[in-house]
């Protein structure tokens, strides 16, 4: 049985590894000649880490991850701690560590584990066709490939999604811009073993330790879509948006390198339930694009890969039946996570300013219990518990 996998991102590579481990022949096609990850880093929550462990990558992921033992919120203006608590109860309950990692390193690790020479780079899929016993994909260089089934892991702008759904899918602007990057750890900005977040004015500034003595940082600001901002004005823009913020935030702005800082207008996609058409299945952001507000997009793609491989390898009524079972095991979970992230996005970015003001007040009496309960529920809803 041969699977064609479109896209060599987190989802596509996880699917390729999972399917190959179950004995499927796999061929991965990637549009770019060289992968350049969108975003500097990613927090892989324990549900995602468990999927990587299942793919045989336990030691590799450990080696890349930062030590995130604590979590804290600070007031934007004074810099004072609103709440600070240990993540140990979460780790003990779910049985795995949260693992923030540099994205390029995660991507390279997945590619190396699969074997880079087995990925066809520079192949942009433009069309898919299927018949009773196979699929054919056409690429923009005029070439084609055939297989028994196809996994479309071609990301949030997926072209194959239109084929599966039979209609175009719009991305929804979530109302804020996110700047993110990596910077050498400076303990006067934040502790090196803590996820630190400054909140106020519907904005946030966050730092997470990743391997290699670096912080993954991000700044969120509610803004109109399509502003003419770029690297040349990046520091001035951030200084303006965060004027009056506490010293560590102002210091962070001076430490960052505009050349390696990304500016992303955050979008998601209204959840939909149809991930499969015959022998073609969507996976990862192609199937469910979420705002990054609960850090679950990549983790969900890894979960998809594990469920896909287990469903295909444990059922005997044929590919189409198994793919439908995959869809039905994933679409409710994906919908829940998109809506949960959207809710958190709205609260964090002051879509309703009163609710956000109430949340800032609540943080002052937060012991960690409520926050950790929400995170544990999200994690435990994954396929590996």
Footprint on this chain of ligand FAD (rule: CB under 6 A): 6-12, 29-32, 35, 38-39, 42-43, 48, 124-125, 153-156, 159, 178, 180, 264, 284-286, 292, 295-299, 301
Residue with smaller CB distance to ligand FAD, 27 or 285: 285
Alpha carbons 103 and 101: distance in angstroms, whole number = 6
CB of 10 to ligand FAD, least distance (A): 4
Beta carbon of residue 368, minimum distance to ligand FAD (angstroms, whole number): 20
Spatial distance between the Cα atoms of 220 and 263, rounded to a whole number of angstroms: 10
CB of 66 to ligand FAD, least distance (A): 12
Nearest distance in Å: CB 85, ligand FAD = 20
Find tokens 């209609």 and name the residue. 167
Q: How far is the CB of 73 from ligand FAD (least distance, A)?
A: 17
Going by their DSSP bridges, the two strands 70-75 and 81-86 should be labelled as antiparallel
Report the residue number, 161 or 325, with the smaller CB distance to ligand FAD: 161
Instruction: Tell me whether residue 70 or residue 315 sits nearer to ligand FAD (CB atom).
Output: 70
- Minimal distance, residue 289 CB to ligand FAD, in Å: 7
Nearer to ligand FAD, 264 or 347 (CB): 264
Q: Which is nearer to ligand FAD, 41 or 82 (CB)?
A: 41
Alpha-carbon distances of 153 from 16, 29, 127, 290, 358, rounded to whole Å = 10, 10, 14, 15, 39
Q: Judged by CB, which is closer to ligand FAD: 38, or 355?
A: 38
Q: How many CA atoms lie within 13 A of 157 on its CB side?
A: 5
Which is it for strands 2-6 and 149-152: parallel, antiparallel or unpaired? parallel
Q: What angle, rounded to 10 degrees, do the helices at 46-54 and 297-314 form?
A: 40
Cα separations in angstroms, 329 against 65, 323, 374, 375: 29, 10, 21, 21
């Amino acid at each position: 049985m041969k699977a064609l996998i479109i896209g060599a991102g987190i989802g596509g590579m996880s699917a390729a590894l999972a399917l190959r481990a179950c004995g499927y022949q796999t061929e991965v096609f990637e549009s770019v000649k060289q992968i350049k990850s969108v975003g500097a880093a990613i927090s892989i929550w324990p549900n995602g880490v468990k999927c990587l462990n299942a793919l045989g990558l336990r030691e590799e992921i450990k080696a890349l991850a930062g030590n995130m033992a604590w979590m804290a919120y600070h007031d934007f203006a004074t810099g004072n701690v609103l709440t600070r608590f240990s993540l140990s109860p979460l780790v003990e309950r779910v049985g795995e560590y949260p693992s923030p990692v540099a994205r390029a390193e995660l991507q390279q690790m997945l590619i190396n584990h699969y074997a880079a020479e087995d990925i066809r780079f520079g192949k942009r899929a433009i069309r898919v066709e299927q018949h009773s016993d196979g699929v054919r994909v056409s690429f923009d260089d005029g070439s084609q490939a055939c297989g028994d089934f196809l996994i479309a892991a071609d990301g949030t702008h997926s072209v194959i999604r239109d084929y599966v759904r039979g209609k175009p899918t719009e991305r929804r602007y979530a109302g804020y811009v996110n700047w993110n990057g990596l910077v050498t750890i400076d303990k006067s900005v934040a502790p090196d073993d803590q996820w630190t977040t400054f909140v106020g004015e519907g904005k946030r500034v966050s730092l997470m330790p990743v391997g290699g003595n670096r912080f993954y940082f991000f700044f969120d600001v509610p803004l109109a879509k399509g502003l003419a901002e770029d690297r040349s004005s990046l520091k001035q823009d951030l200084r303006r948006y965060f004027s009056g913020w506490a010293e560590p935030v102002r210091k962070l702005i001076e430490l960052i390198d505009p050349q390696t800082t990304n500016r992303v207008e955050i979008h998601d996609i209204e959840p939909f339930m149809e991930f499969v058409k015959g022998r073609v299945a969507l996976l990862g952001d192609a199937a469910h694009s979420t705002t990054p507000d609960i850090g679950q997009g990549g983790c969900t793609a890894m979960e998809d890969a594990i469920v896909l491989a287990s469903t295909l390898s444990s059922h005997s009524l044929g590919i189409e039946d198994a793919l439908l079972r995959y869809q039905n095991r994933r679409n409710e979970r994906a919908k829940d996570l998109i809506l949960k992230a959207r809710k958190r996005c709205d609260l964090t970015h002051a879509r309703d300013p009163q609710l956000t003001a109430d949340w800032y007040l609540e943080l002052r009496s937060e012991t960690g219990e409520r926050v950790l309960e929400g995170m544990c529920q999200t994690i435990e809803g994954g396929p590996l518990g």
